[in-house]
A = this chain, B = another copy of it.
């Protein structure tokens, strides 16, 4: 019963988003009475927590752990791939939910606000590990990690944004490129965009230490 409710919840929340999904619809899809749903879960946000957030948090925790000691093992190309392939597909799959969470993160009165704070914090914790791994790897390559927080922020914004901004960030009149093309393009931008900085170009930029 619980498993059926979780499956129906996950499907409805990811198809329609949190706000547009009712507990009545979840119960109907799971083939149970609505009071049964409330016996298993206290409220709509509790169903959401169990069906959607727990798996997402578990995924992000595994992704964060994947950066432990990455610095000694991999090169920049592998780092770029691990960043892009680790985030883009999962955020894209649940894009409607992420857009709702982003709005909720900005609205302390939303009942999704605590969830949004938790997920966003977990993402930033993972990106801190990417940041630290990035320092170690650029150091090993003899590259200039000029401004690693800005680099990670820009690159992570690209990966998250590309997964969410179908209606905003793609040229009009062109089909929004699919997953394979976006992953290849973003990996190339990250690798080429971070490996061609010379100490000279660094010194020539005023205010670099800010």
Report if A151-B189 is in contact (Cβ < 8 Å); known contacts: A156-B170, A161-B158, A161-B165: yes
Chain B nearest CB, measured from A202 CB (Å):
10
Shortest Cβ distance from residue A131 to the other chain B in the assembled complex, whole angstroms: 4
Mask: chain A, 161-181; 1 = CB below 8 Å from B; 0 = not = 110110111111111111011
Determine how close the nearest CB of chain B comes to the CB of A102; give it in whole angstroms.
Answer: 6
CA distance A158 to B205 in the complex (A): 22
Q: Which residues of B contact A184 (CB under 8 A)?
A: 147, 150, 205
Q: A105-B167, A147-B185 are in contact. List 12 more A-B contacts (CB 8 A).
A: A17-B106, A102-B168, A127-B169, A152-B170, A152-B171, A153-B182, A154-B182, A155-B189, A161-B161, A161-B164, A180-B207, A189-B189
| Bound-complex Cα distance A96 to B105 (A) | 11
Some 10 contacts from A to B, beta carbons below 8 A apart, are A19-B107, A99-B106, A103-B103, A121-B172, A153-B176, A153-B185, A154-B186, A156-B170, A189-B194, A190-B193
Contact of A180 among B168, B173, B182, B210 (CB under 8 A): B210
A105 to chain B, nearest CB (A): 5
Q: Quick check: is A39 within 8 A (CB to CB) of the other chain?
A: no
How many copies of this chain? 2
Q: Which residues of chain A from 94 to 139 have a CB within 8 Å of any chain B CB?
A: 96, 99-100, 102-103, 105-107, 120-121, 123-125, 127-128, 130-131
Distance between A203 CB and nearest chain B CB, rounded to angstroms: 14
Q: Which residues of B contact A157 (CB under 8 A)?
A: 157-158, 160-162, 164-165, 169
Identify the closest chain B residue to A178 (Cβ): B210
> Does A192 lie at the interface of the complex (its beta carbon under 8 Å from any beta carbon of B)?
yes
Cross-chain contact A150 with B182 (CB below 8 angstroms): yes
How many of A's residues come within 8 Å of B, CB to CB?
Answer: 68
Answer yes or no: A86 CB below 8 A from chain B CBs. Answer: no
Interface flags, A66-96, vs B, CB<8A=1, else 0: 0000000000000000000000000000001
